Structure 1
Amino acid sequence: MNKSDLIDAMAADAGISKVAAKAALESLTSNVTSTLKGGGKVALVGWGTWSVSKRAARNGRNPQTGAEIKIAAKNVVKFKAGAGLSGSVN
C-alpha cells in the first residue's frame, strides 16, 4: 500500500473526501515528524511507539575496495509495534 492507496482507504472508511483524508494523513506525518525532531516520542496505545535513538560513530569498510571508512554518528527513528498491532499480524 502506498500513500495514495492509504488516502483512498481512509476516505472510504471515514466517509470523507480524498482531500480531507489527504489533509489528515499529512497532518499526522507532520506532527509525528516535528515531535521526533524535538526529541520526543509518539505513542499510539495498542498500535506502536516511534522514538529517536542516537547511533554512535563507528568504523566500517567500503565493500568495493575493503578500505576502512568512518561512519558519522546520527539519529535514527525506531518503531516498536504495540500488542494490538503485533497480535493482529500474528
Structure 2
Amino acid sequence: MNIGELVKGVATATNTSEASAKAVITAVFDQIGNAAAKGADVSIPAFGKFSVKDRPERQGRNPATGEAMTIAASKKVSFTAAKGLKDKL
C-alpha cells in the first residue's frame, strides 16, 4: 500500500474528500515524527507503539577496504505491534 491507496481508503471510510484525508494523514505522521524527535513514545491502542531507542557506539568494518572503523552512536525509531494488530495477521 502506498500513500495514494491509504488516502483513498481513509477518504472512503470517513466519507470525506481525498484532500482532507491526505491532510489528516500527513498531520498524524507529522505528530508522530515530532514526538519521536523529542524522544517521546507514541502509543496507539490496538495498533502499536513507536519508541525511540539509543544505539551505542560500536566497532564495524569498512566493506570496501575491510579496515576497522567506529560507527557513531545514534537513535532509531522502533515499532512494536499491539495485540490487536498481531491478531489481524
Tell me the TM-score range normalised by the shorter chain: over 0.9
Q: Which residue of 1 aligns with 2:82?
A: 82
Unaligned runs of 5+ in 2: none
Range moving further from structure 2, 59-68 or 22-31: 59-68
SS in 1 for 2:5: helix
| Paired residues, number | 89
Per the TM alignment, residue 64 of structure 1 is displaced from its structure 2 partner at its CA by 2.4
Q: Percent identity?
A: 33
Aligned-pair RMSD on alpha carbons? Answer: 0.8
Q: Please give the residue correspondences for 1:4-19 in structure 2 after superposition, counting only pairs within 5 Å.
A: 4-19=4-19
| Consecutive aligned runs of 4 or more in structure 1 exceeding 6 Å deviation | none
1:71 — aligned with what? Answer: 71
What TM-score do the two structures reach when normalised by structure 1?
0.94
Provide the C-alpha distance between the structure 1 equivalents of 2:13 and 2:68, rounded to a whole number of angstroms: 52
Instruction: Read off the aligned partner of 1:44 and give its amino acid letter.
Output: I
Aligned AA (2:5):
D
TM-score, normalising length: structure 2: 0.95
Distance 1:52 1:82 in 2: 17
- 1:31 corresponds to which residue? 31
The runs of 5 or more residues in structure 1 that have no matched partner are none
| d(CA) in 1 for partners of 2:85, 2:15 | 24
